[in-house]
């Protein structure tokens, strides 16, 4: 899945918000406080509920340009990438990409059936999230 969105905020602002969220999540899950430049390659386990957890590995955190991570569960691996392209000092384009690898034939079939209706909902949620981030920018 890929989504492109032009935002009324600079790439540096959007990148900072995304990476701040990652730093907060890491602190909540591990107790460790990382700086933005320490994220690439960092791995941790995120507990979603008593029975659901995932391993998260930050693949790339390139200042103001890209934030990418891999989330691995017992059923799937998701690679999520946010690429940022500055348009000018106050606008940027965000490109969201997500690739899913399903483990096992039954899981692949299930994911294929479920992905179509969920993709519409996820695209709407992402657009709303990007718009909310841009609204936070006051520069």
The tally of domains found in the chain comes to: 1
Q: What rounded mean pLDDT belongs to the chain?
A: 91
Print the domain residue range for 108.
2-136
Whole-angstrom Cα distance, residue 82 to residue 18?
Answer: 9
Burial of 104 (0-12, 13-18, 19+ CB in 10 A): exposed
Q: What is the pLDDT of residues 76-102, one digit of tens each?
A: 999 999 999 999 999 999 999 999 888
pLDDT (tens digit per residue) in 28-81:
999 999 999 999 999 999 998 888 999 999 999 999 999 999 999 988 999 999
pLDDT of residue 118: 66
CATH code, domain carrying 13: 3.30.530.20
Q: What's the pTM value of the predicted model, to 2 decimals?
A: 0.88
């Amino acid at each position: 899945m890929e989504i492109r969105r032009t935002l009324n905020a600079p790439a540096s602002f959007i990148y900072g918000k995304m990476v701040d969220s990652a730093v907060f999540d890491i602190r909540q899950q591990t107790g460790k406080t990382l700086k933005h430049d320490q994220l690439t390659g960092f791995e941790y386990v995120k507990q979603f509920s008593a029975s659901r957890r995932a391993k998260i590995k930050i693949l790339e955190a390139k200042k103001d340009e890209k934030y990418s991570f891999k989330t691995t569960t017992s059923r799937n691996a998701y690679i999520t990438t946010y690429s940022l392209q500055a348009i000018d000092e106050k606008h940027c384009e965000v490109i969201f990409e997500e690739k899913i690898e399903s483990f096992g034939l039954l899981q692949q079939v299930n994911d294929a059936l479920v992905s179509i209706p969920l993709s519409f909902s996820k695209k709407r949620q992402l657009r709303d999230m990007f718009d909310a981030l841009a609204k936070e920018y006051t520069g």
